[in-house]
Amino acid sequence: MIQCHTINSLTRLDLREGGPYVLSQFVGGMAAPLFLFMAGMTSAFQMDSLERRERLWGRRWVTSLRRAAYIGGIALLFRLTNYLGAWPHGDAADLTRVDILNCMAVAMAFLAAAAVFPGAGRARFAATAGITIAVASPVVAHLPWTGVPQLLHEYLAPGFGRGRFPFFPCASYLAFGLAAGVVVKRAPADRLDRLMQWSVLLGFGMVFISQYFANLPYSLYPQSNFWTDSPALISIRTGICLLMMAGAYLWTEYGARQAWSWMETLGKNSLMVYWVHVMLVYGGVIKPIKRKLDIPQVVLATLIVTALMIALSILWLRWKARRAARRRAEPALAEARPVSAAAR
């Protein structure tokens, strides 16, 4: 994500047809599906915890809707801070741009209904929703949208205007992440290794089978664009998400162990890292070098931005740890004060 945005913002225009730039954007294109997939997994963990605390399905649904509304508020605040960060060169139209957080909020609101179901039913609902959204995306993309408000069009339809993260098909990644999260959360600890093996098999299967069907000379759809609305691309990227999930488990369980991880540090602050680095690489602060660097220079810039985000994450986690320690200490101090007063 960081390398994709940094290289996109700073690379000279005459270098954008070359292999290094194209490769960076292709690899970086997985950042958004992964972000949504992981948001779905997090939602699954939260719903599982909510199910244990709250027996009434209506309250579980409302609580999940509130979380979606929270992300929606963050999305609007994010657009506002980006606009102010680019002052006085900001474009007011960017305030209503459909970014990934906007898509995440809408998808979470739609999938909040999954909280109504128990565990297995929740996974089935999420998987069915993901498949339905993916399959419907080419149809939705080519509906007659004339007369529909532009903002609604951008929120729903792929391949249109500024709507880079429309509900169709991007919400499918969150739905598949939610389904995967339910399975992972409910798997016994001694079965996780086997579950990750199945994840690898399923991931490879989705990638290769979807690639095969994508290369066929005919299609079920009258109109479809592979890069914006194709179910095959959604399946390929979801398969890659499953492979990366298994790889992350393998590294965490048998590689990194308990050692400090810069990747985990970034992951614990993913929303903040996303927010700050986008403001940095697209804001007015670096305007003098925007679209003026060659490939070695943008690689160096990417390393610098990544290091800054790691440092920011470390400082933020330390601040939160100190704040938590003070909160834990407050009850003990409050109990000690009356004893000290009585002694005097």
Is 18 contained in some domain? yes
Q: Is residue 273 part of a domain?
A: yes
Cα distances (Å, whole numbers) of residue 23 to 278, 279, 302, 307: 20, 23, 15, 22
Number of domains in the chain: 1
Is 338 a domain residue? no
Classify residue 247: in a domain, yes or no.
Answer: yes
344 is a domain residue: no
CA distances to 145, 316, 320, 321, 337 from 326, in Å: 56, 15, 10, 9, 16
105 within domain boundaries: yes
State the Cα angle at 25 between 206 and 129, rounded to 5°.
Answer: 35
Residue 339 lies in a domain: no
Q: What distance lies between CA 37 and its chain's CA centroid?
A: 6
Give CA angle at 273 (267, 275), nearest 5°. Answer: 135
Which range of residues forms the domain containing residue 162? Answer: 2-331
pLDDT by position in tens, the chain (length 344)? 899 999 999 999 999 987 889 889 888 889 899 999 999 999 999 999 999 999 899 999 999 999 999 999 999 998 888 888 767 676 777 788 899 999 999 999 999 999 999 888 999 999 999 999 999 999 999 999 989 998 999 999 986 655 589 999 999 999 999 999 999 999 998 999 999 999 999 999 999 999 999 999 888 899 888 989 999 999 999 999 999 999 989 888 887 667 788 888 888 888 899 989 988 898 777 888 999 999 999 999 999 999 999 999 999 999 999 998 888 887 766 666 665 555 55
